[in-house]
Structure 1
Amino acid sequence: MCLLDEDIVQRDGWVERKRHFMGYWQEQPCFALEIEEKHDLDPMEYQLGSLWQILGRVDERLFSLAGRAAQLLDWERDHQFCGRCGDRMQLHPQDRAMRCAPCGTTNYPRINPCIIVLVTRGEEMLLARNVNHPSAMYSTLAGFIEAGETPEETLVREVHEEVGVTVGNLRYVQSQSWPFPNQLMLGFFADYESGDIVCEPTEIADAQWFHPSDLPMIPPPSSVAGQLIKQHINSLS
């Protein structure tokens, strides 16, 4: 994956739908573009794909930039009309926002805070396979923070709802912007306290305790889930 020069857009006659300034990459101004779908891209020069396909395969800073670009383009697409009065919205002239001129409603890019947690029992890790994930990957548990909740309250609730166990000794570790589609992941460790694994069937296909010596397919180390697993394994050495 690489960034394209502005000259290529003009050379190939691409018609822009949207453009957002992303800041600077290697001291050059960088923009996110959405082009018309009618353009036939040369398969010898370009490969169409998704963010999932480049996760763990490109520089983490470049992936972060691509994720932010996708979030901003999706945000503008999803806020074409005002949710209060129904009128068409326009990009704010100064802020990164969509503004409705008739009623004054302003919408900024939306970020959904989530918790993601590695539950441990001694050396073992509780990993689960989501029913909606296309592969056989096992990962850490995660969930959206609901209105009025703290991240810690969400963590305890989500773990109990998804796999039926009780946890304690919560420790915040790190965060990560996660563009699938617009989450801010807050990563934690938690210790197992009690309960047997009982999977919530609409969300969890399977959950098990895994020892570091016998792991299933797990997320790449570029993800916060992969980082939590890696940090736990390193702490045992």
Structure 2
Amino acid sequence: MSGYTIGEIIVWLLLAALLGGLLGWFLRQLKCQREHGEARQSATAAPAKAEAVTPPPAKAAALSGAGTVESAGFARSAKPLAGGKAPSPEYTIKGNADSMYFHTPDSPSYGRTIAEVWFKTEADARAAGFTAPGTGGGTKKAPAKKAPAKAAAKKAPAKTAAKKAPAKKAPAKKAVAPGRFPGSAKPLSGGRAPSAEYTIKGNEDSMIYHAPDSPSYGRTIAETWFKTEAAAVAAGFRKPRNA
């Protein structure tokens, strides 16, 4: 039997158990810290990957717009981008829609020309009616003008000329005002006859009538008129004594 007492052995066993517990706790703490660190690293690495995969907005816009070249109205042509830029690198021929000239990269005017239309090749530009500078311009067709409708303009005056002028109505004859005596008529202003059929002048004061062959006919101002001498006699008038 060793020189340790039972009490000392118990103390050593307790110390060993305590030391083993502390060592186990320390190892567990190390393990937890290591696992926690790995989890944090994986969490921070995931967004970085996602950002790397997602393209920048400008690049995404460029990718989405690729292959959507819009025609400029001519065969095998393309509309320029802002500032007259080429819609894609394969379009290298500049075109001017007003002069119908095209400019290749070796043209002296290429740098200062703002493209209104782009072509891939010279052949495409020529097929669309464009020509090289100094060759007299392209073959752009002017829009056909409509002839003015001359026929319609000419017909209008003809119609107005064909219209008949409204027939003038003859002035209505004034009604003869009857005089004081049967078969007589009142004179007009100045003693004039009321109509051409009244030719016999009558003087109401003297009750004498004057026919056109009477010497006093011209200077007599009629106060009443008769158509005939018989009508004047029937009304009580008589001839002048000198007639």
TM-score over 0.5 (shorter chain) = no
Q: By percentage of residues, which structure has more strand?
A: 1
Which category of TM-score, normalised to the shorter sequence, fits these structures? Answer: under 0.3
TM-score (norm 1): 0.13
Larger radius of gyration: 2
Q: Which structure is higher in RCO with an 8 Å CA cutoff and minimum separation 6? A: 1
TM-score (norm 2): 0.13
Q: By percentage of residues, which structure has more helix?
A: 2
